[in-house]
Amino acid sequence: MTPSPLHVQRVRDEEACELAAVAALAAAEAGAPPSSALDLALGLAGQHYADIMTMVSVYWRRVRFALSGGVVEPDPGVSAAGVELVRLIKDAESNGDDLRDRLNVYLENSFERRDFELRRRIEVVPVYMIIVLVLFFMPAILLVLVGPSFLALLRALYEV
């Protein structure tokens, strides 16, 4: 069972945003302010995920330079993980919160989502194994176990 292209793209978006969050966390640990930390993180993650990080950085610039009360809607190409990361940085910057705590919570939630998805996919494997067992192995086992008895019964009925 191959995953759909949308699922693959969503997983890739989440990986890119996790990489950016880890890089922003490292920059925040070094003492960078939130906006500089995200700029550095987007540049670093853009080395591996250029298409995704370009859209997120455009959204970040729009959010950063928007009017103080204005709500900026993300472009359709920006992933939900990217929007969440940008809004987290913007909130930390505007509220004066510690960016490291917020990024730790973001990464923890991201890893929990990934773990939940993996467990959900693992729970389906026994069902597929049972289907293979019933379709392929059970008929062969029945043929080996019941076949000689059935042949003996046919011989007995034929001789009568």
Contact between 112 and 58 under an 8 Å Cβ cutoff? The reply is no
User: What is the per-residue pLDDT for 122?
Assistant: 93
User: What is the per-residue pLDDT for 69?
Assistant: 62
User: What is the per-residue pLDDT for 68?
Assistant: 67
User: What is the per-residue pLDDT for 71?
Assistant: 73
User: What is the per-residue pLDDT for 97?
Assistant: 83
User: What is the per-residue pLDDT for 65?
Assistant: 83
Instruction: Quote the tokens at residue 118.
Output: 């993996």
CA 41 to chain centre: 19
With both helix axes pointing from N to C terminus, report the angle between 80-95 and 5-29 in degrees, rounded to the nearest 10.
20
Residue type, 34: P
pTM above 0.85, yes or no: no
C-alpha dihedral (41, 43, 48, 49), degrees to nearest 10: 90
Low-confidence ranges of the chain (pLDDT < 70): 1-2, 68-70
Q: Strand, coil or helix: what is 87?
A: helix
